[in-house]
């Protein structure tokens, strides 16, 4: 039985990796001078994570963001998270579900 708490689900050391991974955003959007950090999103309960809630979060953080850029960044973030959480936990299952949801939305898009 997975007794993982619904908040603080991502290990703290992963946030540094996520911030580093988010630095490549400036390469995707060179005309925008921005610093993007996803830490606040991932510190929420994994029960609140979703592609739609990510898009909302991302569009608030990055003005004039395009949906394809939001999804590209989310995919990168999910990869970093999945590499750093214990396999088979509720958090891992949620990450896999988000990747599947994201892949489906890209196919529909």
Give the pTM.
Answer: 0.71
Per cent of the chain over pLDDT 90 is 26
Provide DSSP, 6-74: SSS-S-HHHHHHHHHHHTTHHHH-TTS------HHHHTS-GGG--HHHHHHHHHHHSTT--HHHHHHHH
Mean pLDDT of 73-99: 90
Residue 72 has pLDDT above 50, yes or no: yes
Choose from 41-45, 49-53, 63-67, 72-76 the range with maximum mean pLDDT.
49-53
Q: 81, 95 in Cβ contact below 8 A?
A: yes
Is the predicted pLDDT of residue 49 greater than 90, yes or no?
yes
């Amino acid at each position: 039985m997975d007794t993982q708490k619904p908040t603080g689900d991502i290990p703290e050391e992963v946030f540094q990796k996520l911030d580093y991974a988010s630095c490549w955003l400036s390469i995707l959007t060179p005309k925008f001078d921005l610093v993007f950090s996803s830490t606040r999103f991932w510190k929420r309960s994994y029960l609140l994570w979703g592609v739609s809630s990510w898009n909302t979060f991302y569009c608030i953080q990055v003005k004039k963001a395009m949906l394809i850029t939001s999804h590209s960044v989310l995919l990168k973030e999910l990869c970093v998270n999945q590499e750093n959480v214990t396999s088979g936990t509720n958090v891992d299952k949620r990450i896999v579900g988000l990747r599947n949801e994201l892949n489906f939305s890209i196919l529909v898009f």
